Structure 1
């Protein structure tokens, strides 16, 4: 599913450019404005401090001018002389309003500048300057050598300040000066305010029209102002930040203050930030517009590509997007068109490949029909074969045809594998099919088979050749005859002293002729030899022994060891044993060549059933080629207790087991299930315990099941056998669905066992079976009707299912108080083989030993 475009590439480019520009501008403004602000702060602090120091120094100079006038009084010879000098001082200095002196702390003198007082007050009313209205008390208290400045010391005088100084111990004077004296301190600084404070926190003089803070005491008592002579500090005046520079006037309790609000001091910075923001917005707007115009062309090509891919995803390959320019987008567009063309070409190739694969599958199915479907069991021998193609079609083939008591077997191996080799094998199969028809009229010997096959392959004018081996088995004469066309020499293994060893191995190496298809004039010879009970023949193609895994071939030595190890089995068992060993070597690696393996085992005379109406009652066992239903009909008409399916996994072992068990007077389960089995047993007295037992069984043995043996089938069989054992424990009187409780001496015994070859389900109940005939009839009836008998519970329907699902169905009737059913599931390596297996039926009426 194609996701919906929520944020186009064009806008992503614009946003990316905008963010980058904003970050760059933000960094620049932050850096530049910070430097500007720091520089501005240094400038503001410097100007304020410089101004404050300047005012303090000028104040000191101005006041010192008048203070020096007082010093002239020290040289006076008498009080009159002092008075005279005081009057001259008052009248000649326009800024002086009056002078007071205290001689010997008793004689008080004063002088006024009446002209200046009248000028300042605007009237001619005489102003009083005496002890009561002047600075008499301050003069009396001032220590010798000290100088003091006071404001408005004389009552009634216009605005003035007073300098009080103890010139000598017996001479103390006070000089009253108009504030016009300090007018030179006035400046035109626009943004800075300057004023002078007394040590008590009062305004001594304002140099310009500013609003003086209300809490002046906080300024003069600030620790920084107290500790140092001059400096700059930022104050908080009721939430307003004020930069305040201070400088103390030397020798006087006066402090020069220069201040400015921080917002006004940095007004230029604020204006610069504001204008920078406006400029940044302008630049950003221009960048966005340019970005849109720039990306429009680029995203147009991308949009074209997107629409083309969308159409391709919908199956429309008739799209040819175009892009302007020689940039990466243009190259990507060309690459897209090239990719589209290659996809179309690839799709055509895939269609062709799919067609070929489909035809190969059909060819594989056709070729599979060329091979025998089942093992062949005859009266004195049996054989089985397996082929494994390295690709879809095989270059190997094997088959057989019968000529009365004679069976002729052929194994072929064409050069290479795959379709060309498979065509040669198809010709071989066709040739043998024709010979099969001809054999109905005349005997066809092994060398004739090779000669006919050679002519067919030569007539195809193919460069592919074929090796072949023909084996003829004559049951009546007890001999074999063979002819070889350069095929791998089969092995004939004899049984010596009841064992199979390498001394008994006899390779069939006689009369080795030219390969089939090499030349049309090739002729072949044949060799005959007797065969005895217990002999084994193994025919194979070179793909088996030459199979390499991790650089190491299996080889004839390992192959022969595997053959000797499995020779105690009959044909099918021997075949599976060899393939199991080969599988361990192969480790699921892909085959490098086609593989064919055929095994033949020779045994004593056996009864083979191929007709359900056949009659035979005197045999211990029979081998059946019938279906399961036909076998039941055969058992109904015969008193045979042991019927063995011809395609059992190990015919010899099953026959031997019948012979051993029938030779004993009583049935003892360990004779059947030895210590090589992994097993678990349960004893049940309630049918309600069955689900828990089955769950425990599944958990414990889960890893032991195979592809051919389904866990659900095993549970179904076990549940049916256990339920039947409980249901029939009381003479068929129990009601299904309700709990059935048994006494400990009549418990149901359940055993589940697993080996490398079999899985076994065994249930022993407290009641036996009425008879063999009734048992077979009930199963046979269920086979036909597929429904339970009215009024009789299951009446064979459950046993019919168990019999059908099992590979071996054993019934041991131990009399009225004991009955046991054993179901065997053989571990075929393919599910198809297990499904085709004809179920073996075994019945024994014996006492069951616990």
Structure 2
């Protein structure tokens, strides 16, 4: 045997699986953690950045507000200061003030003027530019209103002009906001806009316009005083922060590019990926080292199994690890040792089983046929051992006008009990020879039991048997019996049409010892008269002591009732009914004891009928195949011809096919060569335990002949299905034509046997179907007119060729759409 066929190719080694699993788990964990941590980090960083941008804008606006308010208070102080030196000192204490003037309305001239030259220089202003704007204010009478006004006179300059009209005196101050704009992070750009959207910082006009549109759409249009928005500024995505205090103060706007704001976060993410790759690399290296130590031990175990496959069960593996694999190797070595021991035991067991099988075949030869007649009596018997060999036994002999029936039950069952039955059978044959010269012994069942007792005692100690011996004197219509501790037989009058339990008369005797107890034991003899057609019932206690799944015994009452309820003109069906009720009670579970039942109808015809009518379309047959076909041809009303010795007699009489779970073989086609190739390949791969010989030849013959007969020149398609079980083999062949009818098929059978010549139209003589009929146990033909013809053949498992060939083939015909 090529052991490589038993091994699947290793495409994904365990080592690689472990490394992949280890890496996958780590990578998944890292990815999940990184996703969670980075998501939280980005969320927190985003909140921080947005808050920072907003905070810068707010702090800038707050600083502007503080500068303006401080400058207002300074103007109040300067308004009441008349000393020029004192006024200059107050002016210099306010860094934001770069120019201060007082205009006297009555005298039409400036009475005070203070300037910060360095501040003007930083603000890129000159005295002349300020004079120009101030003169415009003085000449514009619209400004001549009491109170403070905030003006923005210089575009693109962070300069705020405060104008305070105090009756005949007007204060004018220029405030520089450069210090405010320069007080935060350089990465954040600051912008100021006058309330009328005029930019107060130097920047590109397009940029200023874009900024104001963002602020206007995001905040001003919805009456928000502050916020942060994300938008595209100067071709880059930026964060825009806004803060506005009131309608007179400048709008403070801060801008930072998003890429710069998130630069630290991006760097952290990049570093995290690098660290994850580093960890994964370390993990793979560790996984390789770990998997090597693990898979090496498994490789040793695998090599050990390879040797097991080759049949070397003495091989042992050497694994030093102190883990589960080490324990597994110890178990493997122990298993190898036990297998060797079990193989030796199995050899012995097989030898014993073969011997038991031979013993069973030998024991089966001890029993007469299950159906038949002797003298003027007809009998039907059932026997089922609890194991391969049983301890029940029954038999009969005929001497002159007398028939002697025996039924016995050895203690226990199995091989020891079977040895006792062998002794009893030998004693029977010896007795039969003795009776040929000693006719008087045939009238003394008590002496016959003594004969058997001495034989059983001579077989050995502690071997016991119960036995009932009944002598049927057909000439005088008299029963004489003697009982050695066996269940008493019963007699049921044939004159009672509807019997009751009280009509069952037991053949009672005084208590006596078992056979084999004492070689000097004596037995009592009793007698009674009988009438023709009376029924004699012999049985063993395996029926009455049969139990169900609740450990309840079947008992005498149910047994007696089954005899009454199963009464039938057919002795076979009567016996079948009694046994079926007993088996139904136990739920089909195996019996703990051997079961034997013998029904004997006294004083009837010398031989049973070849055909026993059950209904208009159903008969029980004892005919040979040729006679059965002639009978079916001459009696077209018969659709079900059932073999009398069918093991499923009751089901066949009800026209019930054996149950089917599923088919094991399927073929559909129109070429017989293709079918032969497929069925041969399938059958050669199957084993058939429980058969006297392999049924392959029978199945090949049946399938081949059925397919050949089903194919027609008109392109018919044939389907073949086959199922195997421990009890039966079932083969079904169906076509898609349905051209046959019952008469055509039956006469094809008959012509094939009589003439063995083909029909003129080339469709064959039907010889193949006749061979099928001879080679199967049940044949079912179902015709759906003009649609299909299906032939189902069933073979019943048996270990004896005699039983197979002695089985009368059952024929069932069913037709649809007539």
Give TM-score, length-normalised by structure 1: 0.62
Cα distance between partner residues in 1 of 2:58 and 2:115: 40
> Conserved in 2, the CA contact under 8 Å of 1:495 and 1:534?
yes
Corresponding residue of 2:578: 578
Corresponding residue of 1:143: 144
Moved more, 442-451 or 484-493: 442-451
1:597 deviates by 2.0
> Conserved in 1, the CA contact under 8 Å of 2:377 and 2:601?
yes
User: 18, 21, 24: which is aligned to 1:15?
Assistant: 24
> Conserved in 2, the CA contact under 8 Å of 1:151 and 1:160?
no
1:148-199 superposed Cα distances (whole Å, 9 cap, x missing partner) = 434359xxxx999684635245555656x697x9669755743233454333
Corresponding residue of 1:598: 598
Query: Which aligned pairs between 1:531-570 and structure 2 lie closer than 5 A?
Result: 531-549=530-548, 550-563=550-563, 569=569
Structure 2 vs 1, CA of residues 2 and 50 (structure 1 numbering), >3 Å: closer, same or farther?
Answer: farther
> Conserved in 2, the CA contact under 8 Å of 1:102 and 1:173?
no
What secondary structure is seen at the aligned counterpart in 2 of 1:151? coil
Cα distance between partner residues in 1 of 2:244 and 2:760: 130
Answer yes or no: is 1:234 the counterpart of 2:229.
Answer: yes
Corresponding residue of 2:105: 103
Structure 2 vs 1, CA of residues 159 and 497 (structure 1 numbering), >3 Å: closer, same or farther?
Answer: closer
What secondary structure is seen at the aligned counterpart in 2 of 1:425? helix
1:76-119 superposed Cα distances (whole Å, 9 cap, x missing partner) = 9xxxx9xxx99xx99xx999789685736x956699999979x9
> Conserved in 1, the CA contact under 8 Å of 2:318 and 2:329?
yes
1:632-655 superposed Cα distances (whole Å, 9 cap, x missing partner) = 99xxxxxxxxxxx9x979xxxxxx
Structure 2 vs 1, CA of residues 516 and 787 (structure 1 numbering), >3 Å: closer, same or farther?
Answer: farther
Structure 2 vs 1, CA of residues 228 and 132 (structure 1 numbering), >3 Å: closer, same or farther?
Answer: closer
Corresponding residue of 1:361: 357
Corresponding residue of 1:165: 163
Cα distance between partner residues in 1 of 2:768 and 2:96: 144
Cα distance between partner residues in 2 of 1:282 and 1:18: 11
Cα distance between partner residues in 2 of 1:244 and 1:802: 98
1:528 deviates by 5.2
1:526-580 superposed Cα distances (whole Å, 9 cap, x missing partner) = 4455544333322221222222334443333443444456677475565445334
* Root-mean-square deviation over aligned CA pairs: 5.8
1:422 deviates by 0.8
Cα distance between partner residues in 2 of 1:221 and 1:403: 132
User: 423, 427, 432: which is aligned to 1:427?
Assistant: 423
1:232 deviates by 4.7
Query: Which aligned pairs between 1:373-384 and structure 2 lie closer than 5 A?
Result: 373-378=369-374, 380-384=376-380
Corresponding residue of 1:24: 33
Query: Which aligned pairs between 1:647-658 and structure 2 lie closer than 5 A?
Result: none
Structure 2 vs 1, CA of residues 501 and 57 (structure 1 numbering), >3 Å: closer, same or farther?
Answer: closer
Moved more, 22-31 or 407-416: 22-31
Cα distance between partner residues in 2 of 1:51 and 1:322: 81
What secondary structure is seen at the aligned counterpart in 2 of 1:135? helix
1:142 deviates by 0.8
User: 194, 199, 213: which is aligned to 2:195?
Assistant: 199
Cα distance between partner residues in 2 of 1:387 and 1:100: 141
Cα distance between partner residues in 2 of 1:311 and 1:24: 48
> Conserved in 1, the CA contact under 8 Å of 2:366 and 2:425?
yes
1:35-76 superposed Cα distances (whole Å, 9 cap, x missing partner) = 45544554554345324422543365468767976x479x89
> Conserved in 2, the CA contact under 8 Å of 1:9 and 1:299?
no
Structure 2 vs 1, CA of residues 512 and 37 (structure 1 numbering), >3 Å: closer, same or farther?
Answer: same
> Conserved in 1, the CA contact under 8 Å of 2:374 and 2:403?
no
User: 260, 269, 290: which is aligned to 1:264?
Assistant: 260
> Conserved in 2, the CA contact under 8 Å of 1:225 and 1:246?
no
What secondary structure is seen at the aligned counterpart in 2 of 1:598? strand
> Conserved in 2, the CA contact under 8 Å of 1:395 and 1:421?
yes
Give TM-score, length-normalised by structure 2: 0.64
Cα distance between partner residues in 1 of 2:774 and 2:265: 101
Structure 2 vs 1, CA of residues 63 and 360 (structure 1 numbering), >3 Å: closer, same or farther?
Answer: same
What secondary structure is seen at the aligned counterpart in 2 of 1:260? strand
> Conserved in 1, the CA contact under 8 Å of 2:534 and 2:602?
yes
Cα distance between partner residues in 1 of 2:217 and 2:627: 123
Structure 2 vs 1, CA of residues 67 and 265 (structure 1 numbering), >3 Å: closer, same or farther?
Answer: farther
Structure 2 vs 1, CA of residues 182 and 478 (structure 1 numbering), >3 Å: closer, same or farther?
Answer: closer
Larger Rg: 1
Structure 2 vs 1, CA of residues 63 and 455 (structure 1 numbering), >3 Å: closer, same or farther?
Answer: same
Corresponding residue of 1:696: none
Query: Which aligned pairs between 1:374-453 and structure 2 lie closer than 5 A?
Result: 374-378=370-374, 380-443=376-439, 444-445=441-442, 446-453=445-452
Answer yes or no: is 1:515 the counterpart of 2:514.
Answer: yes
> Conserved in 1, the CA contact under 8 Å of 2:375 and 2:401?
no
Cα distance between partner residues in 2 of 1:293 and 1:799: 72
1:366 deviates by 1.8
Structure 2 vs 1, CA of residues 533 and 97 (structure 1 numbering), >3 Å: closer, same or farther?
Answer: closer
Structure 2 vs 1, CA of residues 602 and 282 (structure 1 numbering), >3 Å: closer, same or farther?
Answer: closer
1:750-792 superposed Cα distances (whole Å, 9 cap, x missing partner) = xxxxxxxxxxxxxxxxxxxxxxxxxxxx97x97565558999x
What secondary structure is seen at the aligned counterpart in 1 of 2:519? coil
> Conserved in 2, the CA contact under 8 Å of 1:143 and 1:166?
no
1:393 deviates by 1.2
Equivalent pairs, count: 658
1:334-368 superposed Cα distances (whole Å, 9 cap, x missing partner) = 34444454455455545544443343333222211
> Conserved in 2, the CA contact under 8 Å of 1:408 and 1:471?
yes
What secondary structure is seen at the aligned counterpart in 1 of 2:200? strand
What secondary structure is seen at the aligned counterpart in 2 of 1:8? helix
Structure 2 vs 1, CA of residues 475 and 308 (structure 1 numbering), >3 Å: closer, same or farther?
Answer: same
> Conserved in 1, the CA contact under 8 Å of 2:386 and 2:594?
yes
What secondary structure is seen at the aligned counterpart in 1 of 2:517? coil
Cα distance between partner residues in 2 of 1:596 and 1:126: 140
Query: Which aligned pairs between 1:446-845 and structure 2 lie closer than 5 A?
Result: 446-494=445-493, 505-510=504-509, 513-524=512-523, 526-527=525-526, 530-549=529-548, 550-563=550-563, 569=569, 572=572, 574-603=574-603, 606=605, 722-723=743-744, 785-786=755-756, 836=807
Cα distance between partner residues in 1 of 2:553 and 2:251: 111
> Conserved in 2, the CA contact under 8 Å of 1:381 and 1:601?
yes
Structure 2 vs 1, CA of residues 586 and 788 (structure 1 numbering), >3 Å: closer, same or farther?
Answer: farther
Answer yes or no: is 1:289 the counterpart of 2:285.
Answer: yes
